[in-house]
Each structure stands twice: as structure tokens, then as C-alpha cells.
């Protein structure tokens, strides 16, 4: 299934390219010359256990947040949109001026192409989003920690999947010394990087649960219960 290749290898890395728009569709904007990722340190192979513990605690205490994102693909194309995270398990990525919506409902990650009127789903656990959204985060048990440390104003953790659900690595970047998630970079098995930078991130007391349900799903559930 196409979505599994897209989401399992590099979360959202090529999702817009898979939306099936024809050659006449609007060309995405070029990646900005300066991005948050440009100034980020290259992770070493060393693992600072204190950093891992701090990141664990941060993710465990991260509840509802919303903000903006910039997704920069390996080919340099860039897409922007709105992001909503509601731990545990839920996320929504609304792309600006693009007929694509990605929603995690706690069990699955769904990709809806509004133009093709198609929806594909994979298990949340088979995507890197799992590490951000699962309850009771324990990175040393949930993943293989490849690197963890602090350099300048950035703290980072690089993770791989010991069970092979997805290939490649995921590096989470946080501000330092105040720990706030600001970016992640997914590197696939071929070494291609997809950057996902967050801006205007703000915590929320709660988010509308309807954000994490695709239109039509609730009706399907009601019909199934009859």
C-alpha cells in the first residue's frame, strides 16, 4: 500500500507527491533559503542518558498543542500547513492549498486525498509518529536510541525502529535549555531527508475531538453499531 511506504519510511516525507495531482497542478514553493533545520547540529553517535530522560519526561507531559508546520522534502519542495497534536495517539496535518489531509485517531494514521476522493490507512505503530504520540513514553524500550545530546541551543535524540516496522531514522530536535519540540528530520533507508519544522507552537487546554475524525468516519461508526 502506497501510504505505508510513505508514512512508515519518513513521516509525511512524500505524502504531497502521492496526492496524484497532474502536471498542470500548482507547483509547490521552493524551500526557503534559511530554515530552522539549517542551524541544527549533526547528531553524533553518543547517547547522553540524561538527555533521553529529559525528552522522555517532556513527551510524557506533552498534551494538546497546535501550531504551524513547514515540510521540506528531499527534492527541495516545501509545503506548509496547520498541525494539531493531542496525546496520546492523535494528530492532524492540514496542508495549505493542497488537497491532502493526514489524521491519526489513536489507532491508525489516515491519508485522505480530497481530489481523488481516496483514503488510505496504516497502523499508527508502523509510523514514526508513534514515538511522539504514544502514552507512557520510554524511548529506551520503544526504540533504538542512536544518539542523544545537546549542542548550542539544540537538544536532539535520534531513534530507529528495532522491530523494523519502518526503515531509516528519526531525529527529534528541541530548544535548549528550555525543552520544546521544534523540528524533526526523517531519514529514509536511502539517506534522503525530510525536514518538518514547527512554528507558532502553543499549548492548548483541549482540542476539538472532531479534528481527529475524518468526515464520514462517524457516520460509518454509527451504521456499524446498528
pLDDT for 21 = 36
| Residue 52, C-beta contacts closer than 8 angstroms, at least 6 positions apart | 139, 140, 145, 148, 157
Digit-by-digit pLDDT tens for the chain (226 residues) are 333 334 433 344 434 444 433 333 344 444 343 344 456 667 767 999 999 999 999 998 888 999 999 999 999 999 999 999 999 999 999 999 888 899 999 999 999 988 888 899 999 888 888 888 988 888 988 889 999 999 888 999 999 888 877 778 889 999 988 899 999 998 888 888 889 999 999 998 889 999 999 876 543 443 333 3
pLDDT for 142 = 85
DSSP state of 134: -
Half-sphere exposure of residue 65: CA atoms within 13 angstroms, side-chain side: 23
| Residue 115, C-beta contacts closer than 8 angstroms, at least 6 positions apart | 19, 20, 21, 99
Examine residue 88 and say whether the peptide bond preceding it is cis (omega within 30 degrees of 0): yes
pLDDT for 67 = 95
pLDDT for 217 = 59
Coil, helix or strand at residue 79 = strand
Phi, psi of 36 (to 5 degrees): -60, -30
Amino acid at each position: 500500500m502506497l501510504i505505508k511506504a510513505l508514512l512508515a519510511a519518513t513521516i509525511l516525507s512524500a505524502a504531497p507527491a502521492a496526492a496524484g495531482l497532474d502536471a498542470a497542478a500548482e507547483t509547490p514553493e521552493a524551500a526557503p533559503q534559511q530554515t530552522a533545520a539549517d542551524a541544527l547540529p549533526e547528531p553524533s553517535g553518543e547517547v547522553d542518558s540524561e538527555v533521553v530522560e529529559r525528552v522522555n519526561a517532556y513527551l510524557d507531559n506533552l498534551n494538546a498543542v497546535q501550531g504551524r508546520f513547514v515540510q521540506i522534502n528531499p527534492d527541495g519542495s516545501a509545503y506548509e500547513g496547520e498541525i494539531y497534536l493531542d496525546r496520546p495517539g492523535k494528530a492532524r496535518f492540514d496542508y495549505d492549498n493542497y488537497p491532502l489531509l493526514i489524521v491519526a485517531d489513536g489507532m491508525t494514521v489516515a491519508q485522505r486525498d480530497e481530489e481523488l476522493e481516496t483514503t488510505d490507512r496504516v497502523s499508527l505503530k508502523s509510523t514514526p509518529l508513534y514515538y511522539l504520540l504514544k502514552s507512557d513514553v520510554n524511548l529506551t524500550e520503544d526504540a533504538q536510541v542512536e544518539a542523544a545530546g545537546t549542542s548550542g541551543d539544540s537538544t536532539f535524540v535520534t531513534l530507529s525502529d528495532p522491530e523494523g516496522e519502518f526503515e531509516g531514522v528519526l531525529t527529534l530536535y528541541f530548544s535548549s535549555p528550555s525543552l520544546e519540540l521544534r523540528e524533526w528530520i526523517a531519514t529514509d533507508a536511502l539517506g534522503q531527508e525530510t525536514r518538518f519544522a514547527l512554528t507558532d507552537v502553543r499549548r492548548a487546554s483541549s482540542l476539538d475531538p472532531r479534528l481527529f475524525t475524518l468526515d464520514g468516519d462517524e457516520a460509518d461508526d454509527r451504521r456499524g453499531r446498528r
